[in-house]
């Protein structure tokens, strides 16, 4: 009998396989980035059909097969409908998804990245979020991801943003330090060689 792993995860992307299956890329809190097969999920009778959508936050149960993970069940937590319906927020989520897929390879968990990402999604899921707050949130999130992966060195300017969680009161100072933050992020991306 296989051990069932229970974890929270965010579905970064998926692709159709076979007649009714999907291969999901899920960023999980306890296992890091995994690829998992969802059997029969595209059938009309599938109970998981609407739960396992791209950009959904779920509680998922997984079993490790010989070659890949398999989804056994899942429970919907949030699909962040307001963030998904706003074009600018949706683009931000897509960019961060691609960054996570690019940098968080393998099954190495990083709870800080996961928690920061989910918190940012909840902040984006606000119909009143301003363009400035959205931009600041993306800068802050990417900076914290790069730092959690060990790509950001010590900097007096950055320490203020790396030691505190997201909040709207930091928006003005983040945008004021935008050039320096972007420079540090780009340097970190270059050094990652990914």
Query: Which two three-digit tokens encode residue 80?
Result: 């962040």
Residues of the chain with CATH 2.40.50.140: 4-78
pLDDT given for residue 167 in this prediction: 67
Residue position matching structure tokens 């270059």: 190
Q: Which long-range contacts (CB under 8 A, 24 or more apart) does 158-163 make?
A: 158/184
pTM: 0.89
- Alpha-carbon distance 68 to 127, whole Å? 38
pLDDT given for residue 23 in this prediction: 96
- Alpha-carbon distance 63 to 8, whole Å? 14
Q: Using 50, 70 and 90 to split pLDDT, how confident is the model at 158? A: confident
For residue 111, what is the DSSP state?
Answer: H
Q: Using 50, 70 and 90 to split pLDDT, how confident is the model at 67? A: confident
Query: Which two three-digit tokens encode residue 151?
Result: 């790509």
Residue position matching structure tokens 């959205």: 134
Q: What is the CATH number of domain 4-78?
A: 2.40.50.140
pLDDT given for residue 63 in this prediction: 94
Q: Is the pLDDT of residue 180 over 90?
A: no
CA angle 75, 59, 109 (to 5 degrees): 165
Higher pLDDT, 182 or 28: 28
- Alpha-carbon distance 88 to 84, whole Å? 9
């Amino acid at each position: 009998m296989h051990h069932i792993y229970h974890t929270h995860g965010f579905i970064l992307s998926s692709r159709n396989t076979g007649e009714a299956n999907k291969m999901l890329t899920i960023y999980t809190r306890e296992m890091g980035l995994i690829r998992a097969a969802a059997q029969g999920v595209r059938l009309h009778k599938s109970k998981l059909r609407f739960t396992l959508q791209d950009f959904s936050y779920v509680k998922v149960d997984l079993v490790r097969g010989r070659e890949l993970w398999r989804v056994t069940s899942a429970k919907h937590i949030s699909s962040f409908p307001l963030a998904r319906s706003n074009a600018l927020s949706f683009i931000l989520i897509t960019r961060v998804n691609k960054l996570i897929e690019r940098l968080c390879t393998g099954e190495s968990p990083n709870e800080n990245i996961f928690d920061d990402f989910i918190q940012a999604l909840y902040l984006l899921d606000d119909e009143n979020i301003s363009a400035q707050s959205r931009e600041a949130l993306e800068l802050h999130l990417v900076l914290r991801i790069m730092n959690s992966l060990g790509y950001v060195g010590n900097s007096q300017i950055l320490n203020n943003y790396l030691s505190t969680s997201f909040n709207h009161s930091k928006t003005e100072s983040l945008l004021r330090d935008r050039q320096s933050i972007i420079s540090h992020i780009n340097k970190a991306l270059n050094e990652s060689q990914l």
